[in-house]
Structure 1
Amino acid sequence: MRSPLPVRDGVGATRLHVPLTGPWPTVSAYMIERFFHLDSQQLLTRFDDGEIVAFDGSPVARDAPLGAEEFVWYYREPPAETHIPFDIEILHEDRDLVVVDKPHFLPSTPAGRYVQNSALVRLRRLLDNPDLAPVHRLDRATAGLLMFSARPVTRGAYQTLFQRRRIEKVYEAVSARPAGWTNDLPRTVRLHIEKLRSQVCVDVDADREPNSETLIELLDADEHVVHTLLRPHTGKMHQLRVHLASIGLGILHDNLYPILTDEKPDDHDRPLQLLARELRFVDPLSGEERDFRTRQTLRYAPRT
């Protein structure tokens, strides 16, 4: 459903589903209860100022009865953000596709306390392209290659590549070397991974059929760390972090796996040692062989 409001400062409007029936006399009454943590008078003022609109872009009145609109759109109030002091590098740009090198700590898309400090919003503003949209995502803590669609008309062709697993993805990771570690790589790890809504970390169920698979190969090792190459066959949430932790090679500076630790402010000297290194695929529009490689390196990899 296309938004009736344009992208503003690189950020799209939020769509809210409003119940057609219920105990609320008006649309505004429902929103006041839904967003109980906000000042109700300020919310009503936004109705009066025409900032909450229907599917055709017309303002929704504060006394519009429940059932008058099933969806409304509005701009979220921008949060106060801490600037993330790392830049995106554009590696490739054409009419349909943009490929960038995302730094550690920068989220792929707006989330929580990060809006302007997200790869998507920064790129929309940099390239003056409100239609830019991610084809896939990287965790905020992960650095490396990230692909964006530049035009809605061709977006589905690139998204299908990921859905049908027609993209070869290669990652690197650095793990602390466990005491007594003996090299048993290369090794294919298969696990059943499930993300529950109420949890930060994913669940691993050893009794269920595996739904994730990664080939893990050794790049290098010294007395302190193990440097691995990762070839995921699937793309489950936190898959690489979970797979490495499951074989005793939890990624260096990972605060989720194998042990969830208290959230702390970002320490830019201790980035998660996970890097999206390569993307290879046949372009669905041109038939051209595409081969992209990051220009970044992992800070704690062995130096040989």
Structure 2
Amino acid sequence: MNTRTTPLPLLDGVKPSYLVLPHDKSFYGLPLLYFLCVRFPFVDESHWRKRLDSGFVVGSDGMALNADTPFQPGQTVYYYREINREDEPRIPFDEKILHIDEHLIVVDKPHFLPVIPSGRFLRETLLTRLRLRPELQHLNVEHITPIHRLDKDTAGVMLLSHNPASRRDYQTMFQDKTVRKTYEAVAPTRTDLVYPHSVESRLVRGEKFYLTQEAAGEPNAFTVVELIENRGENSLYRLYPLTGKKHQLRVHMMNLGMPLMNDALYPTPLAVGDEDYEKPLQLLAKSIEFTDPINGHIRKFESGQQL
């Protein structure tokens, strides 16, 4: 469990980021400004100086740092990421809260919406949006944290924790693979396969860090594919991932000769920022079912979205 506490509050639903200064003797005795300019050369010195003198860059004790603060190895520096609002237009789809209890928030996530701040997305993420939702303000919204992954391009059911005391119990379900996840997808029709069709392969990181590819070796990814409805050229499928590798369903379906409709990564990655909101990836996390680790009840949550 991440128990790190930060001396800076949420700002517009965004938690501060942090950087632990390295034990690098070449910076000893020099200003923090010098280290930042060397560590992040793509940001000019005037910008760093302005940020450091803003009062919004602090140490673990909450005291503001400035351009003349000496570099201290091992010190943790807290700050807010900066993204120009004009460079982060609103994603025109809304999440729907399905359930709230003393441990969990269950959400039906739309396509295109990232779960956590990363890269060019800061405010337009599920996590930031939820921290600003009026109906969640009775909770300690700073503690809202996703307990499993869901790709930006994939829509559907997402579980988040807001209770640090029980978070580990729910995370362990996913680590132990005791959660039954069901997906739906639209892809080219294959009637020559016998359904349900089992797929197993070894998935590894692709040549580009954001991709996954199959490789020789012992299988580490397993998927079951069912045909729900033959729609002619394309069909509706139900997918059961028995493991949780990155992009597992997208890669397994592609390598069956059935790439998912509107996939911006497989088989050919599109340029970043080329999202077409009229063509969402046809992959939906339809349901999640599990035995609640707190009360032992069988629980199932289902997306209201359709492909």
Equivalent AA in structure 1 for residue 13 of structure 2: G
Tell me the residue number matched to 2:252. Answer: 243
Determine if contact 2:20/2:75 at 8 Å carries over to the other structure.
yes
Residue 238 of structure 2, aligned match among 225, 229, 233: 229
Equivalent AA in structure 2 for residue 14 of structure 1: S
CA displacement at 1:291 relative to structure 2: 0.7
Are 2:280 and 1:274 equivalent residues in the alignment?
no
Moved more, 194-203 or 45-54: 194-203
Tell me the residue number matched to 2:167. Answer: 155
Tell me the residue number matched to 2:186. Answer: 174
Equivalent AA in structure 1 for residue 160 of structure 2: F
In 2, the alpha carbon distance for the partners of 1:257 and 1:68 equals 43
Equivalent AA in structure 2 for residue 100 of structure 1: V
Tell me the residue number matched to 2:297. Answer: 288
| Structure 1 portions without partners, runs of 5+ | 299-304
In 2, the alpha carbon distance for the partners of 1:16 and 1:176 equals 46
Residue 116 of structure 1, aligned match among 90, 102, 123: 123
Are 2:16 and 1:6 equivalent residues in the alignment?
no
Tell me the residue number matched to 2:60. Answer: 55
Tell me the residue number matched to 1:85. Answer: 92
| Structure 2 portions without partners, runs of 5+ | none
Distance 1:217 1:106, change over 3 A: same
Equivalent AA in structure 2 for residue 83 of structure 1: R
In 2, the alpha carbon distance for the partners of 1:222 and 1:188 equals 22
In 1, the alpha carbon distance for the partners of 2:89 and 2:66 equals 35
Equivalent AA in structure 2 for residue 288 of structure 1: H
CA displacement at 1:184 relative to structure 2: 2.8
Residues 139-196 of structure 1 show CA distances to partners (whole Å, capped at 9, x for unaligned) of: 1110000111011121111111111111110000100236xx5233211111111225
How many residue pairs match? The answer is 295
CA displacement at 1:118 relative to structure 2: 0.8
Determine if contact 1:18/1:27 at 8 Å carries over to the other structure.
no
Are 2:84 and 1:74 equivalent residues in the alignment?
no
Determine if contact 2:22/2:73 at 8 Å carries over to the other structure.
no
Residues 37-96 of structure 1 show CA distances to partners (whole Å, capped at 9, x for unaligned) of: 223123123222322111121222423333355321101123321111111111101111
In 1, the alpha carbon distance for the partners of 2:227 and 2:239 equals 9
CA displacement at 1:135 relative to structure 2: 0.8
Other structure's SS at 1:291 match: strand
In 2, the alpha carbon distance for the partners of 1:112 and 1:236 equals 21
Equivalent AA in structure 1 for residue 17 of structure 2: T
Tell me the residue number matched to 1:96. Answer: 103
Equivalent AA in structure 1 for residue 20 of structure 2: H
Tell me the residue number matched to 2:213. Answer: 203
CA RMSD of aligned residues (A): 1.8
Determine if contact 2:21/2:73 at 8 Å carries over to the other structure.
no
Distance 1:61 1:20, change over 3 A: farther
Other structure's SS at 1:155 match: helix
TM-score (norm 2): 0.90
Are 2:50 and 1:45 equivalent residues in the alignment?
yes
TM-score (norm 1): 0.91
Determine if contact 1:79/1:113 at 8 Å carries over to the other structure.
no
In 2, the alpha carbon distance for the partners of 1:17 and 1:196 equals 29
Determine if contact 1:21/1:66 at 8 Å carries over to the other structure.
no
Tell me the residue number matched to 1:218. Answer: 227
In 2, the alpha carbon distance for the partners of 1:287 and 1:247 equals 38
CA displacement at 1:260 relative to structure 2: 2.9
Other structure's SS at 2:26 match: coil
In 1, the alpha carbon distance for the partners of 2:84 and 2:49 equals 20
Distance 1:293 1:199, change over 3 A: same
CA displacement at 1:295 relative to structure 2: 0.4
Distance 1:4 1:196, change over 3 A: farther
Equivalent AA in structure 1 for residue 293 of structure 2: P
Other structure's SS at 1:130 match: helix
CA displacement at 1:5 relative to structure 2: 1.6
CA displacement at 1:243 relative to structure 2: 0.7
